[in-house]
């Protein structure tokens, strides 16, 4: 019960990583505000948590809308009286070549993926300072640490999330507020259907092939990393980017040398 008597606000919590994090937080004794652009999905997750014996409320919220974020923070305080953990989990992507990307798509990607994190920090940090501390976890991505073909806006936004995390961690360390982020690899959520409509299964198989562990990750596996960073077990961790990617970034991208070098030949031998 590592979150007993603690309250979390989790954005984009109506499905995928956000929903898994909300369930895990409630399972471990915390109360949770489930916020999502889809009120229907947010309500479903909150009701599921309550039916399992947990404490949850829900709020329809566009994470890129300042007024909506402020209203959700206020609703969390009204419902629970405090806020100990914020998980900024919203994200958006429009695949396609950079030179064909519309300005509207660029702006919406940055708004939902990066500005949403800024808004969460902006409206929650003052509250946590008054309370004497808190934990904030942002969902970044391996796409913020490396580049992708056809995902320029998303790459830029997630890289911004990582460095915004560092800056916020530095500014708030003296106030007992820890700020970290997770960088997931390919996670089996709704993403394949959204990014590759009509070819979701082919997309999944391509993702499986590039991960050394031989599969895509599960939302619950990323949620456990988020929950660790939000918990007292990570009390000395701030400004960190925790990679949860099945070994994806461990690979240079070069071919398997063992397929070209005879097994008996020593490295550097003649």
Active-site positions?
Answer: 154
Q: d(Cα 8, Cα 57) in Å, to the nearest integer? A: 10
Residues forming beta bridges with residue 138, ordered by sequence position: 88, 181
Contact at 8 Å (CB) between 186 and 215? no
SS3 content of the chain, % helix, strand, coil (to 5): 50, 15, 35
Sheet with 85-88: strands ordered across: 55-60, 31-36, 7-10, 85-88, 134-139, 177-184, 241-244
Instruction: Name every residue whose Cβ is closer than 8 Å to that of residue 141 and which is 6 or more positions away in sequence.
Output: 91, 154, 158, 161, 183, 184
């Amino acid at each position: 019960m590592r979150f007993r008597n603690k309250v979390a606000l989790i954005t984009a919590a109506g499905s995928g990583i956000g929903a898994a994090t909300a369930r895990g937080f409630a399972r471990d004794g915390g109360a949770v505000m489930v916020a999502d652009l889809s009120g229907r999905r947010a309500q479903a997750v909150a009701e599921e948590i309550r039916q399992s014996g947990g404490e949850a409320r829900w709020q329809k919220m566009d994470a890129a809308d300042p007024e909506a974020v402020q209203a959700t923070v206020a609703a969390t305080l009204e419902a629970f009286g405090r806020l100990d953990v914020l998980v900024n989990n919203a994200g958006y992507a429009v695949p396609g070549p950079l030179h064909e990307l519309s300005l509207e798509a660029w702006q919406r990607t940055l708004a939902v993926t990066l500005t949403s994190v800024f808004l969460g920090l902006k409206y929650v940090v003052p509250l946590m300072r008054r309370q004497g501390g808190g934990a904030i976890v942002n969902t970044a991505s391996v796409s913020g640490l490396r580049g992708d073909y056809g995902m320029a806006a998303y790459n830029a936004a997630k890289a911004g999330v990582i460095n915004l995390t560092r800056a916020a961690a530095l500014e708030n360390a003296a106030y007992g507020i820890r700020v970290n982020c997770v960088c997931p690899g390919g996670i089996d959520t709704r993403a394949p259907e959204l990014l590759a409509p009509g070819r979701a299964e082919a997309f999944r198989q391509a993702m499986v092939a590039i991960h050394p562990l031989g599969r895509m990750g599960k939302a619950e596996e990323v949620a456990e990393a988020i929950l660790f960073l939000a918990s007292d077990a990570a009390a000395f961790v701030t400004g960190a980017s925790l990679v949860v990617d099945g070994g994806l970034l461990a690979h240079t991208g070069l071919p398997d040398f063992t397929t070209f070098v005879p097994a008996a030949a020593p490295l550097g031998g003649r």
